[in-house]
Amino acid sequence: MPFATRFAPSPTGYLHRGHAFSALTAFEAARAAGGRFVLRIEDIDATRCRPEFEAAIYEDLAWLGLEWETPVRRQSEHFSDYRAALDRLIAEGLAYRCFKTRREILDEIARAPHGPGEGPDGQVYRGAPLPPDEEARLLAESKPYAWRLSLDRARERLGEAWDRLNFVEEGSGPDGETGLIRAQPEIAGDVVLARKDVGVAYHLAVVFDDALQGITHVIRGQDLFEATHIQRLLQTLLDLPEPTYRHHRLLTGPDGKRFAKRDQAETLRELRARGVTPAALKA
């Protein structure tokens, strides 16, 4: 497959220097390989995403000199795709309904016999489907629920292949991990595949779209390195092709902290307004 990579921002704020670095890293890698560069808008969370932030993404990236394929895929327009992928996991017994509130989940984690395990997305939760009669009762009460991936069932399903799950890291993880990495999905726990409010969640949408868009190289910040473990499992369960990963370092400000959406002064539109040129920024 021809080289293809992507930049996949969520329009929940204005892009900052860190995003510029990530987008440029991917764009330049595509250019060097004579491959494709895809921009994808990850806007499944309607409560946090805003049209003005999306408009600013196009403006800021064009200002940086990036070009991308059109039409741009906006995840909010493809819920039925993610639902179909979820339905497949449900049909194969790999997902279960979780009616618990955030509070209940946290309490349960705190009571876990081996103490709370820390995962990349906070504390790791492992649950199980409810007995059918209890589930039927909650459904009859229209109690909202999320869908979670069952790591136990996934492990059963993969058998020995579970121990062979891995990924190729051409960049590096936060602790210098590079090369062939053994995937350890258990560090993420029974991740949510479909949120109560949204109907899908990040990991499922991202693996689905990377495959659909023919992404051969996932180039993104090291903050998402740990997410790769569970994403490789999902790709395997859904028979999706395996991309190569290149996690890059995170840019930090003078205070040593990484740029975040709250750093207003470092947004690309603010830098632009102050007369900073794309060339100066790249340097």
Structure tokens at 94: 């790999």
Q: Which is nearer to ligand GLU, 11 or 189 (CB)?
A: 11
Q: How far is the CB of 93 from ligand GLU (least distance, A)?
A: 27
Q: How far is the CB of 40 from ligand GLU (least distance, A)?
A: 8
Q: Which is nearer to ligand GLU, 10 or 25 (CB)?
A: 10
The DSSP letter of residue 266 is G
Burial of 162 (0-12, 13-18, 19+ CB in 10 A): middle
Contact 126, 114 (CB under 8 A): no
Q: Which is nearer to ligand GLU, 9 or 189 (CB)?
A: 9
Q: How far is the CB of 42 from ligand GLU (least distance, A)?
A: 4
Contact 231, 185 (CB under 8 A): no
Q: How far is the CB of 206 from ligand GLU (least distance, A)?
A: 5
- The binding site for ligand GLU (CB under 6 A) comprises 8-10, 42, 206, 220, 224
Helices first, then strands: H and E counts in the chain: 10, 12
Q: Half-sphere exposure of residue 149, counting CA atoms within 13 Å on the CB side?
A: 30
Q: How far is the CB of 8 from ligand GLU (least distance, A)?
A: 4
Contact 10, 206 (CB under 8 A): no
Q: Which is nearer to ligand GLU, 8 or 86 (CB)?
A: 8
Q: Which is nearer to ligand GLU, 41 or 149 (CB)?
A: 41
